[in-house]
Chains A and B, each alone.
Chain A
Amino acid sequence: RKEVEQDPGPFNVPEGATVAFNCTYSNSASQSFFWYRQDCRKEPKLLMSVYSSGNEDGRFTAQLNRASQYISLLIRDSKLSDSATYLCVVNVLYGNNRLAFGKGNQVVVIP
């Protein structure tokens, strides 16, 4: 079983709509969770960390479900500039900063 699994999509989203996707992780001892954004042929950039209680940053909301071992990302009022691949990232062993990446959810916002 892969460490982090994501449905790659693509997710075609009308501008202004809401899109949500999940990722699952296999290691129940994982401690830190992140969503990164990666544009085509660029490096990943941190979008937001995911806290146990869930957190929001503007139009982006992240949730963590430890019991079911998944995290989610919701994007409200989608903008054209939100088109990118969103990577689910999990710190596999607390303390040594080793990250495991999902394949990413590709989002295409359509005018």
Chain B
Amino acid sequence: GAVVSQHPSRVICKSGTSVKIECRSLDFQATTMFWYRQFPKKSLMLMATSNEGSKATYEQGVEKDKFLINHASLTLSTLTVTSAHPEDSSFYICSAPDGERSSYNEQFFGPGTRLTVL
């Protein structure tokens, strides 16, 4: 299947710092990517839809000024958690559909980034 990478896989930071997470589609182009957050024993919650060349679309309750999304190219989307606090500690996962490879709306997930804010 298609490959989506994320970097870093794990980050530990102090409260108040900003953390940038990268999501890359390695062998296909993605005009749209999705960012999810998953707390322990909870389901994945969609945070925002990242659109190449335009503004991201945020889900209700997600602060766009806190979770900055940039989709600068067809293979890269970044999520920046600004002024991170302990309650932002979570597993952040990106995904992207590969319309060339799958016509059934299948999405390919990155391996996730585990953020711990001290």
The distance in angstroms between the C-alpha atoms of A103 and B39, with both chains bound, is 11
- For B46, what are the chain A residues with a Cβ–Cβ distance below 8 Å? 98-100
Partner among B36, B43, B93 whose Cβ is within 8 Å of the Cβ of A103: B43
B100-117, CB under 8 A of A: which get 1 and which 0? 000011110111101000
Contact in complex: B1, A46 (CB < 8 Å)? yes
Q: How far is the CB of B112 from chain A (nearest CB, A)?
A: 5
Q: Verify if B44 is at the interface (C-beta below 8 Å from A).
A: yes
- Residues of chain A from 36 to 88 with CB closer than 8 A to chain B in the complex: 41-46, 49, 87
A79 CA / B29 CA spacing, docked (Å): 37
Assess the B109–A97 pair: CB atoms within 8 A.
Answer: no
Mark A residues whose CB is within 8 Å of B. Answer: 4, 8, 31-32, 34, 41-46, 49, 87, 91, 94, 96-104
5 closest residue pairs by CB, A with B: A43-B109, A103-B43, A101-B44, A32-B105, A97-B97
